[in-house]
Structure 1
Amino acid sequence: MTDADDTPMTPPTEEAPSSDVARGSGVALWKQIAERIEADIAEGRLKPGARLPTEAELAERFGVNRHTLRRALATLTDQGFIEATPGRGTFVKEPPLRYPITPRTRFSEIVSGEGRAPGGRVIGSRIEAADADIAAALKVPPGTEVLRLDMLREADSVPLTIGTHWYIADRCRDLDFIAAATGSVTRALEALGLGDYRRLETRITARLADEEERELLALPPGRAVMVVESINGDPKRQPIQFTRARFSADRVQLVVKN
């Protein structure tokens, strides 16, 4: 397909990709556009976290139609240079966030320590009966009432992980309401006098993201998640929290500290 759009191109600036594409050069226009944007990222004109112009603006700048522009952006996405987040736009991809797993693992502290803004929200909560796995992790009989809390956690408004947490219901009444108000599991546990919790066990696996995870984490089909199951305990090493977190595999680097 050839492009018939001869809209005048906006002169390049230091912040924006250059717009020099050559028709009739034998190199497809979409490939030239991808190479120009890749060069601007490599040479620092587009920095990690920078928001790209809209598709309409880029199509006008390069003098091409949306079909050609989208093919270039899809190639850059597949190569890991950029990432589209629904409702926010397309951004130069940040390097993976280092996420240390230590005896004292705190999401907000880790994200803040990496120079990013932590965020979180409760996406669901309910009382349910502990199945065999949850009961074993929390050291309670199967069928014990547990509070299930589902949270989406972000860094700079980019979703990083979906965490499903289980607590012994009798010990953590109203934790879900406190977490919803503060956006933080740690603050909620502190309010209940359980803030000094420590990591007792961590298990890490990986698999393809399911449909719900792709939607919540804004992932394209075929992307993987790292599944981190952890048990946290009080100072007496009694389990108070069992968590199954699903991290976007290409946005987070898990670092296990000995």
Structure 2
Amino acid sequence: MERAGGVALWRQIAERLKADIRAGVWAQGSRLPAESALAERFGVNRHTLRRAVAELAAEGLLAARQGRGTFVESVPISYPIASRTRFSEIIGRQARSPGGRLISSSRETASPWLVEKLRLRPGESVHRLETLRVADGVPISLSTSWFSAERFPDLVSRYAETGSVTMALAAHGLEDYTRQRTDISARLAEPEEARWLKLAPGAPVLVNDIVNVDGEGVPIQVSHSRFAAERIQLTVES
């Protein structure tokens, strides 16, 4: 590695290691390769490498444990739940890159409980979306969401294009919406959830069941989200 743009080598190495950690190359609690291996990888001496590691330790991303090595720590993302909760905005404010991926979608007849939650007529159709949301490429939450297919006919394609519920709704003329209700619980991740969230088997998830409404108080979204508990800190704001 060579000095680039006047940026010190140790700083470049710190940024490379930080990107690897956030991308999940090394999971929370895992040990980094030996100093000699990392120094060889970056083509620097151990002193330069130690400076980079010390910087990440100061940021709380790494922890050196006497006689055991250097381990990846986890700094949970602060996720406030308020009347206006937007994933992309929350993640972006913490200098991370938000993203959304559409796993699957379907159009189906609303079940009785959805008819009640979304104030639909019996027999109306809903869009069901399964989505994965990430921060810096690291999985944060897995969500199942339902929307009125009549009111938002192109919602699936809009979400697939943008990876954002807010932008998909705005494409249908709904510029703003608010949170009406959030129910929070905790449990162990199911195998499929752990696979998508890249969690160890049996790791905990924080479950959010939410209802969002438009400016007239009409429900527009019902969602069932599972957050990776080790990566998120939910804060309820009044």
Interval of TM-score (by shorter of Structure 1 and Structure 2)? 0.7 to 0.9
Show structure 2 runs of 5+ residues with no match.
Answer: 1-35, 40-44
CA distance in 1 between partners of 2:56 and 2:136 (Å):
20
| Higher normalized contact order (CA 8 Å, seq sep 6+, divided by chain length) | 2
Aligned to 1:201: 181
What percent identity do the matched residue pairs reach? 42
Match status 1:187 vs 2:167: yes
Q: State the partner residue of 2:210.
A: 230
Counterpart-to-counterpart distance in 2, 1:129 and 1:229: 20
Matches within 5 A, 1:1-258: 12-16=46-50, 44-45=56-57, 47-48=59-60, 82=72, 92-93=73-74, 95-258=75-238
Q: CA RMSD in A?
A: 2.7
The 3 A distance-change label for structure 1 pair 14 and 46 is farther
Equivalent residues of 1:16, 1:46 under 8 A apart: no
Q: CA distance change for structure 1 residues 44 and 156 in 2, over 3 Å: closer, same or farther?
A: closer
CA distance in 2 between partners of 1:248 and 1:221 (Å):
12
Scaled by the length of structure 2, the TM-score of the pair is 0.73
Larger-gyration structure (1/2): 1
Q: Name the SS of the counterpart of 2:102 in structure 1.
A: strand
* Aligned residue number for residue 57 of structure 1: none
Q: Check whether the contact 1:121–1:153 (CA below 8 A) recurs between aligned residues.
A: yes
| CA distance 1:131–1:250, change in 2 (3 Å) | same
Structure 1 residue runs of 5 or longer lacking an equivalent are 1-7, 18-39, 51-61, 63-71, 83-91
Distance in 2 separating the partners of 1:46 and 1:15: 14
Residues 135-180 of structure 1: per-residue CA shift (max 9 Å, x gap): 2211224543110111111111111001111011101101110110
Counterpart Cα distance in 1 of 2:168 and 2:79 = 21
SS of the aligned residue for 1:171 comes to coil
8 A contact 1:98–1:255 mirrored in 2: yes
